[in-house]
Structure 1
């Protein structure tokens, strides 16, 4: 019993992906499941992929031209926020996502930082289709790194490299400077520091709470009725994770913007 309790309380359960419930086990349900499989992979997936690629390319060209041609101004900031939001809306639409928001929408201001639980890289997209966020994230290789470098850099995202020991201090200074000087976009931090399966939550790293800034909590709860939105980078590439989302019927989630918290004296 003692060993069983230790195994049950293991930290690793925070990173276990939910096992799908098997329901296509008899002769009258299997044809329905098979028909749904064909619709999702043969009909919906190509349409969603074509929509995502075309809109993503279009809005990114507009964003690049804005960065290149428009002078720095309040109009440019508002325009680029709109483009970023449109990009995120297109990503979310490619999963036929149903996102229900609760509470007041975030507004960028000095001395505030937003913190959220972290299930997948799509968390940023889910939140930024409501209000575009600058965020703190790991620098990724490949096509995801290209997006970070040429698009997300444009609105103040802060990157870190887990392999660099001195990177933490540099990132902490950049975060403090961003919060103090108001970078234009609300700053979002995922204090868990890794993706967790949305059933549990790991201990938050304290850095986000030592900025001498008001903390605005956000809770994202995914409904696993159609797909498990948890991304385990150890077992699945982000590209395959997106394919999994785009071949599901829908991504369903609730987003709770909670009351601002202030550090007690």
Structure 2
């Protein structure tokens, strides 16, 4: 068809994803993006990515315009636009990136004379009976347990007894949260334990992942610092659990947090096991995005954890771009139940000659297979990347230049004033 040996054109998203991945590989020992803790990109860096994408497009367009193997006529004119059509159609038909962050569509089943009364009764029970009871239970138990936890931290000396007591309290706190959703969680595999040289990694669907796992065994985790009431909980309560926080808006946090994580992995006596989400962002539990390699460069055992939610009653995915965490909790607390399976897999070690990227990919495949997730080659942080207007304008200029060149070759181009 006049395109001998021509490879498929890389999309703008793939080029941007590759550029982010290349940056992740630089100075990985102090680069938090390697463990899924990517910080906001500077304006200069975003322009660099946009310029690189534009350069790829110009190169591809130049090759396409220079090809004249079809001679002339209708066939050549059709081939002139196939590249542009391919890009647009593939973005619609094969959009494997956006699918990673879409909530499950709700099936309409209740609008008939037989089922509507039962659905209406269910709404009454869930919103006017279960939700108030769950809210009172959560607030009261959360307050009492956190007072006990604070007293334990302030009054008791550091000892094995204090650690065991704090473990029980944190376990109960997580249980109270999970009970407020009437959660049904089935665990598979050996129960996690705290030991030096070991880190746990899991797929990431929502912030409740930490609560779901901590009601089995309390974990300390690495998480972004949030504003509002959630930030207060992180500062005054979860800080006592040994959690490590970062702020994507402050690039100075990189070295500090990276060093804290390394020290924590090598000295975990009297502390909760460390849990890391290598994806770095919440994905909808149908897909799994690229695992960052930093969590697999800590020279320790990596224990995979697969979390699979059943969407029979509610979709546990938290889309932070469209929904606040408060509304996310409200959605969970007004559902019948949250149903999930948790799989604790065997510890994995880096094999001889295996790179960190290959190690991360191998662990990701284990988690994806157990949780029945589809692996996609995207950097999840691309959902925060917005192509600049300059890039869109460059794309228009490239296409316009190609059309103008073709018209000039035929002698039908309009004359410029």
Same-fold call, TM cutoff 0.5:
yes
Distance apart, 1:4 and its partner CA: 3.6
One of 62, 76, 81 as aligned partner of 2:148: 62
Q: Kindly indicate whether residue 272 of structure 2 is the aligned counterpart of residue 185 of structure 1.
A: yes
Gaps of 5+ in 2: 1-84, 353-417
CA distance in 2, matches of 1:246, 1:50: 12
Q: Kindly indicate whether residue 123 of structure 2 is the aligned counterpart of residue 37 of structure 1.
A: yes
Distance apart, 1:5 and its partner CA: 3.4
CA distance in 2, matches of 1:189, 1:15: 20
Distance apart, 1:264 and its partner CA: 1.3
One of 5, 23, 34 as aligned partner of 2:109: 23
Where does residue 290 of structure 2 map in the other structure? 203
Q: Kindly indicate whether residue 171 of structure 2 is the aligned counterpart of residue 85 of structure 1.
A: yes
Q: RMSD between aligned alpha carbons?
A: 1.1
CA distance in 2, matches of 1:14, 1:166: 30
Larger Rg: 2
Q: How many residues align?
A: 265
TM-score (norm 2): 0.62
* Partner deviation per Cα, 1:72-104 (whole Å, 9 max, x = no partner): 111001100110000000000000000000000
The structure where strand makes up a greater share of residues is 1
The structure where helix makes up a greater share of residues is 2
One of 216, 236, 239 as aligned partner of 2:303: 216
CA distance in 1, matches of 2:193, 2:171: 14
CA distance in 1, matches of 2:241, 2:129: 35
Where does residue 212 of structure 2 map in the other structure? 126
Where does residue 172 of structure 1 map in the other structure? 258
Gaps of 5+ in 1: none
Where does residue 14 of structure 1 map in the other structure? 100
Where does residue 224 of structure 2 map in the other structure? 138
TM-score (norm 1): 0.98
- Report which stretch shifted further, 21-30 or 247-256: 21-30
Distance apart, 1:259 and its partner CA: 1.0
Distance apart, 1:131 and its partner CA: 0.1
Distance apart, 1:155 and its partner CA: 2.1
- Report which stretch shifted further, 114-123 or 20-29: 20-29
Name segments (4+ residues, structure 1) moved above 4 Å.
none
CA distance in 2, matches of 1:225, 1:10: 24
CA distance in 2, matches of 1:68, 1:170: 26
Distance apart, 1:171 and its partner CA: 1.3
